Amino acid sequence: AQDHKRVGEGDTGPNTGGMGAYTSPTIVDDQMRDWLVNHIMRPVVAGMKVEGAEYKGVLYCGLMMTARGPMVLEFNCRFGDPETQPILMRLESDLVEAMEASIDGRTSDGDFKWSNDAAVCVVIASGGYPGAYEAGKKITGLENAGKLDGVKIFHAGTSNRDDAFYTAGGRVLGVTARAAELQTAVERAYEACAKIAFEGAHYRKDIAGRALKKN
């Protein structure tokens, strides 16, 4: 998945926890995928084994693709946010079963079945984020947005009281859509975003924009 760290369109403004992400089967070609697995992921796992660092769970590798090739930024023992939302939209096998297989030590690549669809997540943030922001703003339109085909709304900084949702963090919602084509997924995600409202809400309008221009 490709994350979008900057708060503003065109990758401008300060860094955030992530303002959106997209994924598709062609985000990297097979040659690059094999290189990443064989030169980064497998050596790391092999090194952990040599050191006796037994680990069962998610191993997340953050990379930057540069003119000199892929550069490792970080490893995390957790899912990435907001990368995971679109990635898991493409997962067709059971996530719980996959996690249980990992615990039992029987997970292999064949345990995961993936859709050939694309998916995109657009983060709706509180006014002022990533700086100081106000919480407690009532959120409307969630039900209508969630009814759109292929759309799921992932809650992040929200709270629920009196049968209503309110903002409770900087990154409030991850509006995520899946479709056969990336263009369609992007359109659906932004259609859903347009139905959601709260005071100060803002989101980037160019998530996956570079990928669409390449296509």
Helices H, strands E: what count in the chain?
7, 12
Q: Is 178 exposed, middle or buried (0-12, 13-18, 19+ CB in 10 A)?
A: buried
CB-CB contact of 166 with 135 (8 Å)? yes
**Residue 108 or 196, more confident:** 196
Which among 113, 82, 75, 86 is positioned nearest to 97, based on CA atoms? 113
Which among 14, 11, 23 is positioned nearest to 185, based on CA atoms? 23
Band (pLDDT 50/70/90 cuts) for residue 82 is very high
Span 87-108, pLDDT tens digits: 999 999 888 888 888 888 876 6
**30: phi > 0 → left, psi -120 to 50 → alpha, else beta; which?**
alpha
The label of the residue with tokens 């191993």 reads 59
Question: How confident is the model at residue 56, as a pLDDT?
Answer: 87
The domain spans of the chain are 2-24+115-214, 30-79+93-111
Residues 6 or more apart whose Cβ sits within 8 Å of residue 40: 61, 63, 70, 72
Question: How confident is the model at residue 109, as a pLDDT?
Answer: 58
Q: Is the dihedral of CA 183, 186, 192, 197 positive or negative?
A: negative
Mean pLDDT, the chain, integer? 94
Look up the CATH number of domain 2-24+115-214: 3.90.600.10
Q: Using the predicted structure, report yes or no on whether residue 117 has a pLDDT greater than 80.
A: yes
Is domain 30-79+93-111 in CATH 3.10.129.10, yes or no? no
